[in-house]
A and B are shown apart, each in its own frame.
Chain A
C-alpha cells in the first residue's frame, strides 16, 4: 500500500533562518506531488506542483522554492524565512486524475 511521510510535524524558526521540509512517498512510482499551505482558519493554497523529477510548477509568487531530487521525494525550502511564511504546510501525492493523499502536515511558526 502507498504511504506518505512528512516531517517534521512542528517547527519554530527565527525570521531570516533557512527552511527545509521533506516529504516522501512509498508504494507508488512517478506520482504527482504537491505542496500546499494553509493559514489558520483558511483554505488550502497550492504552492508547488510536480509531475516528475525536475518538473516543478510554482503556483504563486513567494519566498519559497521546491525541489524533487528523487521520484518520490519532494522538498520545500526557503533561504530566509519571513513572518508571513508561518502556516500549516501539507504535502500530497496523486496519480493522474485520481484523488490526492495527504501527509499529516507541518506546522511552521516563524518568530
Chain B
C-alpha cells in the first residue's frame, strides 16, 4: 500500500546484543505470517513463519511473537552477528481477488549490526 513509498525505518544494534524488529499488520482475518530477510541486491529469503493459532514460534536464534489482539508481529534475533545486517520484512496472507490468499509485505526495517 502507501507504506512502500516510505524510507525504511532503521535499527542499529551492537554485535552480540539481541534485536527486536516490530511489524503491524492490517487484517484481523490474516492467519499466516512470515518474516523475510533481504540482503543488498538479492531477493528476500524466508526466516520463520507463524500461523494464527500460535503466539510464539522459535527457530535458530530467532523467535517470532504474534499478538492478534493488537495485530502486532515481532522478530527477535538473539546474539546478533554481522551477517544479520539486512532489511527485514514481515508479510501476511490477505484474501485475493480470486478468493484465495496472496502474500502482502509490510514496510521493512533495515537492521545494522555494529561490530
Which A residues fall within an 8 A CB radius of B?
Answer: 32, 34, 36, 38-39, 41-46, 49, 51, 55, 57, 90, 92, 94, 96-105, 107
Bound-state CA distance A99–B45 (Å) is: 10
**Contact mask B8-30 → A, CB, 8 Å, 1/0?**
10000000000000000000000
Residues of A within 8 A of B69 (CB): none
Residues of B within 8 A of A57 (CB): 96-98, 102
7 nearest interchain CB pairs? A102-B43, A43-B4, A45-B4, A44-B105, A57-B97, A99-B46, A49-B102
Q: A99-B34, A105-B42 are in contact. Are A32 and B102 (CB under 8 A)?
A: yes
Name the residue on B nearest A100 (C-beta): B103
**Contact mask B34-67 → A, CB, 8 Å, 1/0?**
1000000111111001000000000000000000
Residues of B within 8 A of A92 (CB): 43, 103
**Tally of contacts, chain A with chain B, CB under 8 A:** 76
Please state if A34 and B102 are interface contacts (CB–CB under 8 Å): yes
Bound-state CA distance A41–B99 (Å) is: 32
Please state if A96 and B101 are interface contacts (CB–CB under 8 Å): yes
Bound-state CA distance A46–B44 (Å) is: 14
Bound-state CA distance A100–B89 (Å) is: 13
Name the residue on B nearest A44 (C-beta): B105
Bound-state CA distance A46–B93 (Å) is: 12
Please state if B96 and A51 are interface contacts (CB–CB under 8 Å): yes
Residues of B within 8 A of A45 (CB): 4
Bound-state CA distance A82–B31 (Å) is: 38
Interface centre among B45, B49, B105, by most A CB within 10 Å?
B105
Please state if A104 and B32 are interface contacts (CB–CB under 8 Å): no
Residues of A within 8 A of B105 (CB): 36, 43-44, 46
